[in-house]
Homo-oligomer: A and B are copies of this chain.
Amino acid sequence: MKAITSRDNPLYKRLKALAGSTHQQRRSGHALLEGFHLASAYLDVAGQPETCIVTEGALHHVEAQAIVGRIDEQRVVTLPDALFGQLSNVVNGVGMLLLVERLVVPLPERVTQTCLVLDGVQDAGNVGSILRSAAAAGVPHVFCAPGTAYAWSSKVLRSGMGAHFLLQIHEDVEAQALIERLAVPAVMTDSHGADAIYDTDLSGPLVWVFGNEGAGVSAPWRDAHTRRVTIPQPGGMESLNVAAAAAICLFEQCRQQRAA
């Protein structure tokens, strides 16, 4: 275990640059996982992190000790609270971060299972919530189109609550590259003149496409003979938050599969 005490330490400078910039996180292919829950979810599926960063105080916690105990000693560094604070995105955090490479998965040759396309979903909280719903519904693949909030950013990781490690997340997937590989129908929600989700057979594999919060689904997906379904909304409001709509659709599919 190594102690870093100077803000001029090269690793510390690198961590600070990463922590402060989603762009830098995306460019470097590295992610910062904050807190015990994400750290332990990562260790369960991916093995050793590049580095585990803890405050000296955190080492007194039983939970932190359990996690540090799973990591090669030479990969652990300690930081004073003041230096750690500048890396943290969480108020009253627990004083633990893992520096890891993001998990990269190859695009499947053919898409044959139910999966999700995030077609420009912009809000990090929405992306995290949708990843969590996908993991809960047992949907294995999520394809993120350009314009979608970066899935491995600190904010999306935090709201995903470990879903990242139960899913195969594909970044920067162009619509055309995916459309060519589809062996199952694509579906999008549309409030105008489409069949209700309850009246549509959703029990087989489907590619769900959810679009940008403002602009909706992009032209290539709209043009791809994508089936349209609607969520009947008996109230006066005619739209749902995209993460709420995704949850309703995925779990209506689960309900139909369970009933079948």
Interface residues in chain A, defined as those with a beta carbon under 8 Å from any beta carbon in chain B? 123, 125-126, 128-129, 132-139, 159, 161-163, 166, 196, 198, 231-241, 243-248, 251-252, 254-255, 257-259
| Contact of A161 with B239 at beta-carbon distance under 8 Å, contacts A244-B133, A248-B248 already known | yes
- CB proximity of A216 to chain B, nearest CB, Å: 14
| Contact of A136 with B198 at beta-carbon distance under 8 Å, contacts A129-B244, A243-B244, A255-B252 already known | no
Question: Is A239 a contact of B125 with CB atoms below 8 Å?
Answer: no
Q: How far is the CA of A186 from the CA of B35 in the complex (A)?
A: 34
Label chain A's interface by main secondary structure.
helix
Contacts of A196 in B (CB 8 A): 258
Q: How far is the CA of A136 from the CA of B245 in the complex (A)?
A: 11
Question: Is B135 a contact of A237 with CB atoms below 8 Å?
Answer: yes
Copies in the complex: 2
Q: How far is the CA of A238 from the CA of B254 in the complex (A)?
A: 14
Q: How far is the CA of A139 from the CA of B138 in the complex (A)?
A: 29
Which of B139, B234, B239 contacts A235, CB < 8 Å?
Answer: B139
- CB proximity of A138 to chain B, nearest CB, Å: 3
Smallest Cβ-Cβ distance to A124: which chain B residue: B125
Q: How far is the CA of A45 from the CA of B201 in the complex (A)?
A: 39
Contacts of A162 in B (CB 8 A): 237
| Contact of A236 with B198 at beta-carbon distance under 8 Å, contacts A243-B243, A244-B243 already known | no
Q: How far is the CA of A235 from the CA of B243 in the complex (A)?
A: 17
Q: How far is the CA of A101 from the CA of B251 in the complex (A)?
A: 38
Which of B134, B198, B240 contacts A247, CB < 8 Å?
Answer: B240
Smallest Cβ-Cβ distance to A233: which chain B residue: B136
Question: Is B258 a contact of A198 with CB atoms below 8 Å?
Answer: yes
- CB proximity of A214 to chain B, nearest CB, Å: 11
